[in-house]
Amino acid sequence: MEHYNMNLTLKVWRQKNADAQGKFETYPVSGISSEMSFLEMFDVLNERLINEGKEPIAFDHDCREGICGACSMHINGRAHGPWAGTTTCQLHMRAFKDGDTLTVEPWRAGSFPVVKDLTVDRGAFDRIIEAGGYVSVNTGNAQDANNILIPKDDADAAFAAAACIGCGACVAACKNSSAMLFVSAKVSQLALLPQGQPEKKSRALNMIAQMDKEGFGSCTNTGACEAECPKEISLTNIARLNREYISAGMTYEK
Amino acid sequence: MKWSQFFNTSIGKKLLVGATGLFLCSFVIVHLTGNLTLLKDDGGEAFNIYAAFMSHNPFIQFLAWGLKIIILLHAIIALQLTFRNRAARPVKYAINPGNQTSSWFSRQMAIMGSILLIFILIHLKDFWYVMHYGELRPVTYEGKEYKDLYYAVYEAFKVLWVVVLYVIGMIGLSFHLVHGFKSAFQTFGLNHVKYNGLINFVGVWLFGILIPIAFAIIPVFIYFKSI
């Protein structure tokens, strides 16, 4: 694709800290290369702000290769911007054209409070994992291959669910701020495998209880989460979570 | 896990909304079948006999009160979830994705459901109340006296704004079920490539289009017959 430079107008959410009232600030940026990533564009802007003696824009980032899930930006109404199946760091400026105005907001959800500017606290996800998103066994040495037989389809489905990076785009994209896609991926990756069976019931019930406690909304099956997920986690996982809930809730004695 | 706990989580409440919703879908079919006798050109005999059966048979009466409770349960739990869902995002986005990431119908469930609930209350007042507690002129078929609900229906639908109101109610039903029918299956965990196409087809074409249109034809037909 041909390289080009562009001038853009950025409207960015600025918020001093969790308690402060935030507001949008407008920044014109010029000479942005179409080859830059969205975050590199922010680096350019922040460098300028620092040189001008202003506070740079705080945003989360870590790996910059689409696997850490830190870059929680809502760009022109879309979680991680307009491209499907990408995080913000993998969104490149060629997605935009010269003269565009880009509105950048943090994830909006009561359960993801804004820490500063575009940085949000996704600790609620950690607490959901702590509630049951694990297997309580010592792994020890690696077992012989094929010691435990797992159908290939199940292994593939578990792997697809395990691709979830916990970025929170599902919550950000959902009109209800529901965490069902995240929870369903984390329950599915274990429910599909033999190692996940012993704690199957308590896991589903405890993780769902924690999800409710954190204040996430409920799922109305709009499919916005699936459309925005950078790892393209499927809604079939939510159906599986519902099945896990029904079977566990109807038989769990505790 | 106690049953009270089971139905008190977000998923548990959704299961109740889905189950009551599907029950109401089945009711809609029964109700339409009966109502279509209004279009029969027999001066109301078939419809009045059907209406008398529906309001006197003890089993039907039991179902009818159960139905009203189920409508209320469906509405109350769904509204409770809706308010909770709204509260989950205290600061709104400046820009929303609109139809880019989800269908318009899927986002209007609470609005369409509320239109439908108001419609149901008006509809009960218009016909159910007059049939049970109001004054209706008598009519005799084969020596047996019946209440002439048929006449009341034909009188009501002579008024244009009543017809418009009923058509709006059916648009609400259509838009609610386009998403609602298939959504209930997903909530029950019934999502499988082999059946999704069928569920979608039935939800959109039967419950979303065919049934609401068949319902709406009745007041429109009566109105045009009267002018």
For residue A56, what pLDDT is reported?
Answer: 98
| Residue at B95 is within a domain | no
| Residues B187-206: tens digit of each pLDDT | 999 999 999 999 999 999 99
Q: Is B62 helix (H, G, I), strand (E, B) or coil?
A: helix
Scanning every residue of chain B, which has its alpha carbon at the shortest distance from the alpha carbon of A248?
A: B1
- Shortest distance, CA B209 to any CA of chain A (angstroms): 20
Q: Which two tokens stand for residue A189?
A: 């990756």
Task: Tell me the pairing of strands A73-75 and A119-120.
Answer: unpaired
> What count of CB pairs under 8 Å joins A to B?
134
| Residue at B94 is within a domain | no
Residues A181, A238 contacting (CB under 8 angstroms): yes
Grade residue A137 by pLDDT with cuts at 50, 70 and 90.
confident
| Residues B21-66: tens digit of each pLDDT | 999 999 999 999 999 999 999 989 999 999 999 999 999 999 999 9
For residue B40, what pLDDT is reported?
Answer: 92
| Residue at B77 is within a domain | yes
Residues A155, A120 contacting (CB under 8 angstroms): no
Q: Concatenated DSSP letters for B164-203?
A: HHHHHHHHHHHHHHHHHHHHHHHHTT---HHHHHHHHHII
| Residue at B99 is within a domain | no
Give the residues of chain B that fall short of pLDDT 50: none
Q: From its phi and psi, is residue A117 left (phi > 0), alpha (psi between -120 and 50) or beta? A: left
| Residue at B125 is within a domain | yes
Q: What is the ipTM of this complex?
A: 0.93
Domain assignment of residue B59, given as a range: 10-88+106-226
| Residue at B97 is within a domain | no
| Residue at B121 is within a domain | yes
Grade residue A138 by pLDDT with cuts at 50, 70 and 90.
confident
Count structural domains, chain B. Answer: 1
**Domains of chain A with bracketed CATH:** 5-116 (3.10.20.30), 123-251 (1.10.1060.10)
Q: Identify the bridge partners of residue A106 per DSSP, sorted by sequence position.
A: A73
Q: Is A153 helix (H, G, I), strand (E, B) or coil?
A: helix
Residue B154: what residue type? Answer: Y
Q: Which two tokens stand for residue A212?
A: 């409710």
Q: Which two tokens stand for residue A55?
A: 């506070």
Mean pLDDT over each residue of chain A, to the nearest integer:
96
- Shortest distance, CA B75 to any CA of chain A (angstroms): 15
Contact B101/A78, CB-based, under 8 Å? yes
Grade residue A146 by pLDDT with cuts at 50, 70 and 90.
confident
For residue B47, what pLDDT is reported?
Answer: 96
CB proximity B95 to A under 8 Å: yes
Q: Would you say residue A104 has pLDDT above 80?
A: yes
Residues A216, A124 contacting (CB under 8 angstroms): yes
| Residue at B5 is within a domain | no
Select from A211, A216, A236 the Cβ nearest to the Cβ of B191: A236
Contact A243/B189, CB-based, under 8 Å? yes
Q: Is B145 helix (H, G, I), strand (E, B) or coil?
A: strand
Cα separations in angstroms, B57 against A193, B50, B51, B63: 53, 11, 10, 10
Q: Would you say residue A24 has pLDDT above 90?
A: yes
Domain harbouring B145, CATH code:
1.20.1300.10
Q: Which of residues 53-112 of A touch B (CB under 8 A)?
A: 74, 76-78, 103, 105, 108-111
Calpha distance B158→B174 (Å, rounded): 24
For residue A142, what pLDDT is reported?
Answer: 80
Q: Which of residues 22-61 of B touch A (CB under 8 A)?
A: none
Q: Would you say residue A139 has pLDDT above 80?
A: no
CB proximity B80 to A under 8 Å: no
Grade residue A2 by pLDDT with cuts at 50, 70 and 90.
confident
For residue A106, what pLDDT is reported?
Answer: 98
Instruction: Report the pLDDT averaged over residues A7-33.
Output: 97
Cα separations in angstroms, A59 against A118, A189, B61, B195: 5, 30, 62, 43
